[in-house]
């Protein structure tokens, strides 16, 4: 297997990537399962309808049981009536599904491996950005993957000037390295 590396946007040497994280085989089923679960968990789940018991009114029988020639009815809020309740309608619920932690981490590593193989990963030396200026971040990111937004992952416990600079750029989204992001050393916390 060839050595894995990521291009450096700040002009330094290419960063060497750990094969445990960036050299995994594709597993589309696992990535699909994790992405589907995450998108489902983002759903609000607040749609609601009123059943016949929740609709206001309809206490008395609209007409007597026998002798009118019409069909028997007990309430004007039954589902067949206009203004009546809804049968089997949606009620507030959670769409969250469980995905095992190791499966979620592996899916993220597979996605990072796909980006490493496609050459769409890059690094920035935080020492080269000494003050938080958006213009400097835009200058570093100029010409890099212009068709899609960028995600800047910041090392845990630090907020370097490069991350603060990239925060205000229209194309970037800064994320702290947390338990959802494996660290570059391969340890998951």
Residue 18's pLDDT is 83
Which tokens in the block code for residue 151? 């995600």
141 with 169: CB under 8 angstroms?
yes
Global pTM reads: 0.72
9 with 140: CB under 8 angstroms?
yes
Give per-residue burial for 74-108: e unless 16+ CB within 10 Å, then b.
ebbbeeeeeebbeeeeeeeeeeeeebeeebbbbbb
23 with 6: CB under 8 angstroms?
no
184 with 18: CB under 8 angstroms?
yes
The domains of the chain are located at 5-27+100-176
CATH code: domain 5-27+100-176 is 3.40.1370.10
CA–CA gap between residue 36 and residue 54 (Å, rounded): 34
Question: 111: which residues sit within 8 A by CB, 6+ positions away?
Answer: 31
* CA-CA-CA-CA torsion sign (117, 121, 124, 125): negative
User: Can you give the pLDDT of all 189 residues of the chain as single tens digits?
Assistant: 456 777 777 677 777 888 888 889 999 999 999 999 999 999 999 999 999 999 999 999 999 999 999 999 999 999 999 999 999 999 999 999 999 999 999 999 999 888 888 877 777 766 666 777 778 777 777 767 656 666 666 655 556 666 677 777 766 766 665 545 544 443 333
Query: CA nearest 96: which of 44, 43, 42, 41?
Result: 41
């Amino acid at each position: 297997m060839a050595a894995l590396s990521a291009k450096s946007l700040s002009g330094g040497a290419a960063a060497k990537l750990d094969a445990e994280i960036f050299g995994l085989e594709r597993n589309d089923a696992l990535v699909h399962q994790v992405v589907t679960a995450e998108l489902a968990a983002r759903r609000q789940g607040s749609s609601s309808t009123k059943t016949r018991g929740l609709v206001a009114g309809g206490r008395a029988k609209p007409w007597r049981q026998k002798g009118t020639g019409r069909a028997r009815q007990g309430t004007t809020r039954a589902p067949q009536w206009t203004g009546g309740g809804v049968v089997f309608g949606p009620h507030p619920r959670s769409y969250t599904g469980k995905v095992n932690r190791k499966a979620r981490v592996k899916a993220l590593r597979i996605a990072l491996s796909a980006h490493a193989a496609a050459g769409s990963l890059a690094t920035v030396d935080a020492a080269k950005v000494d003050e938080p200026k958006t213009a400097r971040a835009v200058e570093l990111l100029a010409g890099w993957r212009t068709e899609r937004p960028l995600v800047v992952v910041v090392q845990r416990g630090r907020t370097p000037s490069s991350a603060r600079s990239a925060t205000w750029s229209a194309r970037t989204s800064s994320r702290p390295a947390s338990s959802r992001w494996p660290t570059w050393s391969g340890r998951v916390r």
